[in-house]
Structure formats: structure tokens, C-alpha cells
A and B are shown apart, each in its own frame.
Chain A
Amino acid sequence: MGKYLLNKVLIAIATVFVLATATFFLMKLIPGDPFASLKTKAAVQEKQREYYGLDQPVAAQYVRYLGNLLRGDLGWSLKKAGRSVVDIIREGFPVSARLGLTSLFFSVLTGLLFGILCAQFRNRWPDYLLMLVAVLGIALPSMVLGPLMRYFFGVRLKWLPVVGWGTPDKMIMPAIVLGLGTVAGETRAMRASMLGVMTQDYITTARAKGLNRAQVVLRHEVKNSLVPIVTGLGPGIAGIMMGSFVVESMFLIPGLGRYFVDSITNLDYPLIMGLTIFYGAFLVTMNLLVDVVYGLLDPRIRESGRKKVK
């Protein structure tokens, strides 16, 4: 297990390095100049570029950036005067993560439950109903669902606040909108995985022991069905915790989501890099975590990480 983990960590570090390099050069290929403006004089613009080191060759900028990165310095935002990239992440990420985790927790639980129900009632009405919800969850984008929910639950029924952040009730609607895709995905994945497990021979063995249906499902089917599900969870966790541009803008939530788009349209180079590397490192960490959980679920993987298990 130790060797297996060390191997995974080394691969993770290499992944982040490749990501940083690719992003840096791709970012520099975007046409335009962060300081180009009709309002400031050319000499001032020149001074700004010089101050941020943008007058140097791209290769030199890259080497300097990597050096700073190793020291944990992500630089200063070009557009938010006086704020470092680290500060921005430190402020925005906890908000996005809190919303994301809440959303993820409930949507994964709901999705797994829906998936189990679908599989158990295969091709009967509960299956069709829940799969319809799942398909809707994938088909309906949050910019459609969000306003609809705000209209009905916020404006018409006045059950929930329409926008805002800070109290738990303000989190309900954004969490649902954010998590519906996850619910849908988990439902479909769990259904498929469980249907595969249900026809396995060891389920017949379990039934031959005289176990009732609930015991067969809970003790023998669920755990074995979860193994492939956990794999898909890693990227999902990272994605949902980084915040969503649409949901955060819609509900006026001071998270990280909006910076992903803003930083690129503004050509805020250090912020683009900082966010990308942060997201990448987080994603890789989550995948690493998933590998560990995977091993806990299936003893065959725990033993030999390299051996192929069918």
C-alpha cells in the first residue's frame, strides 16, 4: 500500500507540473494585452508591463514563475489592485467549498439512493420516474433551472430567499441547482453498477443463505456496486467545490466561480495561473483520495495497486 501510494503521489506532482507548463504557454497565446487601454498613456502602459515583468521573453517569465511557484508565491492580480492571488483564493474558496460540499453531500446520497431504487425496481414505475428525474437533471442547464426555482420558491411561494449568502436557508436553492447534475449522474451510474452486481453468482449464494431482500441488498449488493462509482467521484468533488460561474453569479455568492471566467477575459495572467494550478492540484488530490477509498472498498485493489483487477 505504501509503495502504491508513493507512486500515485509522484504521478500527481508530475501532473500538476505539466498542467502549469501547458497553461502558461497557452495563456500567453491568447491575443491581447492586459494593460492595453485607450485611457492610459503608452508610457504608463510600458511602465506597467515592465513592473509586472511582461516585457521579458516568455521563456524567462516562465522560469521566474516556476521559481515563485515553488516558494508558494502565486503573484499579484493584475486587475484587482493590491490583492494577491493567494488572497483571492483564500477568500473565495471557503465559500465555494462550503456550498459545494453541502450540495455534493446531499446530491451524492440522493443519487445513490435513487440508483439503488431504480435497480431494485428495474423496469417498473419507480425506475422510470427516477430515471426521468435523472435525465432532466442532465438536460436542464442551471441557467434554466435556477431562475425557475427562484421564481417559484422565492418570488411566488416566498419559502426561500431569492439571492444572497450567509445563512443556511440561502444555501438551499443554489445547492440544489448545483447538485442536480450530480444527482442525475450518480443515479445512472449506481443503477448500472448495481444491475451488474445483481446478476453476479455471489448474490445467488447470499439468497441461498435465506437472507431477506434488504440484507442481500445492503450487505452484498451496495458495497460491490460502489466500487466503480467511487472512481467517478474524484473529479466530481473537485468540480463542484471550485464553484460554478453560473450558480454563483445568479445567487450573488462571493465564491471562486466568477474569477475563472473573469480572469481570462481580463487577461489577468497570475490569477489564471493561480486558479488553474489550485484547481489542478485539488483535482489530483481528490483522485488520490479516491484511489485510497477504492482500496478500502475492494481488498483486491488494496493489496496490489499495479495488478489489473477485472
Chain B
Amino acid sequence: MSDIILDVKHLVVTFDTYQGSVQAVRDVSFHVNRKETVGIVGESGCGKSVTIRTVMGLNPRSSGSVRGGQALFDGQDVLQLPEKEIRKLLGNRMSMIFQDPFTFLNPTMQVGRQITETYLRHHAVSRREAEEKALSILRLISLPNPEQNMKRYPHQLSGGMRQRIMIAMALICEPAVLFADEPTTALDVTIQAQIIDLMNSLKEKTETAIVLITHDMGVVANMVDRLYVMYAGKIVEQGDADAMFHRPRHPYTWGLLDSVPRLDERTKEELHSIPGMPPDLIAPPEGCPFAARCRYAMNLCVRRAPDTIPLREEGHAAACWLCHPEYVRQYGETTREGRPNVK
């Protein structure tokens, strides 16, 4: 049995619109090991949700189309599977929790039934047994009064409780991979912390690998084993959490790290943000997509997109000319603090 549960290779996804083809995902490769927690970080519209939804087969078939690549789930390319076979995996071997627990739950169905529905779909058991299973999951994720709350409707629960319901729904079949698409974005900060703690504890209690998608470096810190940073439909940097947080090499990763508000710095400065806008993915730039916003950009960056360059540590790699061995040899290693005065 291979240690890799999900291996996405060279995925290309394009959406046809009236304005033109939006190249939402441009040659993305990543993998997830069993029981591992992986983060995919990037700002809105960078293609992280599209990537995951493509693997789940949830993109509207009319508009989005996979133009290339593979997504091997347990050795099987899910992009090639017939719909009927994919449905046997969804909710069962791979499942997903969504961004907004307010709109992603059916308003006219008791939450208990929404949870058991997943289990009943994939297991030949009675409703009673499914309810037992749901209760045990609800206890695992420490939802208060699980018996009563199972009979409630979504609008009768708080945001944090609803997100717990979503998590229960996704976990009831004990999937091999759980995708969490911005699971805390729609919640209050205190509830965010609770949900993050919960997901952290689930790492220990279950066999499930978690893929956490977020735009907030603060959310993935202390939680993920490995991290992918995505920008304009590409993975720009990847590596172990330690390397990514302490020795990040891509200027975009620095920007994301700087954008996390900090409590320990008593400055009166405004919140840091990366200047500029992500490029138009209908006609993406020829060179590095981040060049227009990068304060280290060179002529080369605008002309040619860098390949992914492996770095010193195992698994750490960045798509940036600053990391190219030739550049490092001539000018030395640029780090986050390395050339602070360059404007």
C-alpha cells in the first residue's frame, strides 16, 4: 500500500465564458499522504477551490472542463472514472466541508437526517444504526446535546454548530481524505479558533488526511504538515510546514505571511497587504504571474516564467528566479528579511 493517498499531476482546468477561456488551474501538481494534513494557501481566485472541486467532480459540467492531468486517488484516476463510480467515493472515501455553513446546509431538512443521509448512501444499514453512528460522530466533534440538536433545522443552530454539523456529515463514513474549503472564513474569530482546535484534534482521532484550503496563513500555521502556496492557477511554493514558515523563498509567500495580522507587534501601521491585483486568467502573463506585484522582479521575470526549482530541504521547492542556482551563486540567497531595503 502506497503512502500517497491522493496524487494530482499536471492538472489543467479551463472555464469557457463569453469573455474567453479562463485558465483557472494551470498545471498544478500536489500529493497528499495518508493521515497527513496539507494546506493549500492562496488569495481568492487563485484556483485552489477549483482544483479541489475538480478532484471531487463537483464543478458544473457545462462550464468547467479538465484539459489535462491526472488525479490519482488510491492509485485510481478519478478524472477518468464514470460519474457513477465517483459517486461511490464522494462522501465515503473523500469528502468535503464547505466555506459557508449558512448556505451549504439544506434549510428544510433536519440536520440529523442530513448527516445520516451520507452514511445511508454508502452503507446498507437501518436508519436507526445510521443515527447511532451520527451520534457517535457528533460526540467525537463535541457538539453539545447531540440528541436534541439532531432534530433541529440549520437555522436553529449557531454558525459554529452548523460548521460542526458539516464536519460530522463529511466524517461519518471515515473518509481517507477530507477537503476543507475555507472552513473558518464565514465564522467569528473565536469560533474560528474552536473549529481549528477541533480539526487539530481530529487529526489524532481519525485516520483521515485533511486538505485545508484557505487564504489565511494564520489558519494553517500549527496545523499542517506540508503547505502549497498557489497563485494565478499555479503552485508557486511548496514544502514542509517548518521550511515554509521559517525559510520561505517565494516573494508571494512572504507577502501572505506579512498579511497575517499580529497581536505582538504594537505598531500603529495599517494591515499589510500585497499591492496590486492578481493577473487576468483569460490572458495570463507570459512570464512569472507574480512579477507585476513583486518588488524583486527582474527583466527576466516578465519575459519567462520560472520552473519549479527544488531547494535545499527535501520537498521544498519554489517557482521563482531568485531561487535559481545561478542567481543564488552570483547574488546570494534572498530571504524574507534578506533584502529588506529593496523597494
Q: Which residues of A contact B (CB under 8 A)?
A: 200-202, 204-212, 215, 219-220, 223-224, 227, 297-300
Contacts and interface: CB of A to CB of B under 8 A. Distances in A.
Q: Which secondary structure characterizes the binding site on chain A? A: helix
A207 B96 CA distance: 10
A208 B90 contact: yes
Contact of B105 (A205, A219, A223, A227): A205
A109 B98 CA distance: 35
B23 to A, nearest CB: 23
A212 B106 contact: no
A300 B155 contact: yes
B95 interface: yes
A202 B104 contact: yes
Interface stretch (B114-122, B206-214, B299-307, B331-339): B114-122
Contacts of B166: 205
Interface of B: 56, 58, 84, 86-92, 95-96, 98, 100, 103-109, 117-118, 121-122, 153, 155-156, 166, 169
Closest 7 CB pairs of A and B: A210-B90, A209-B91, A210-B91, A201-B103, A299-B153, A202-B106, A209-B118
B56 A208 contact: yes
B293 to A, nearest CB: 31
B87 A211 contact: yes
Contacts of B98: 201, 204-205, 208
A201 B104 contact: yes
B90 A201 contact: no
Contacts of B106: 202, 205-206, 220, 224
Contacts of B169: 205, 209
Given A202-B105, A299-B155, A208 B95 contact: yes
Given A205-B169, A224-B107, 17 more contacts: A202-B106, A205-B98, A205-B104, A205-B106, A206-B106, A207-B90, A208-B56, A208-B98, A210-B89, A210-B90, A211-B87, A212-B87, A223-B108, A223-B109, A299-B153, A300-B153, A300-B155
Contacts of A220: 106, 109
Given A208-B58, A220-B106, A224-B108, A201 B100 contact: yes
B161 to A, nearest CB: 16
Contacts of A299: 107-108, 153, 155-156
B153 A210 contact: no
Given A201-B100, A299-B155, A209 B107 contact: no
Contacts of A227: 108
B32 to A, nearest CB: 17
Contacts of B91: 208-211
17 contacts: A202-B104, A202-B107, A205-B104, A207-B90, A208-B58, A209-B90, A209-B91, A210-B86, A210-B89, A211-B91, A212-B87, A219-B117, A224-B108, A227-B108, A297-B108, A298-B107, A299-B155
Contacts of B117: 209, 211, 219
B96 A210 contact: no
B104 to A, nearest CB: 4
Contact of B108 (A205, A211, A212, A298): A298
A276 B63 CA distance: 54
Nearest to B93: A210
Contacts of B105: 202, 205
A202 to B, nearest CB: 4
B57 to A, nearest CB: 8
Contacts of B108: 223-224, 227, 297-299
Contact of A210 (B107, B109, B118): B118
A204 B57 CA distance: 11
A50 to B, nearest CB: 62
A224 B109 CA distance: 9
A246 B325 CA distance: 89
Contacts of B88: 210
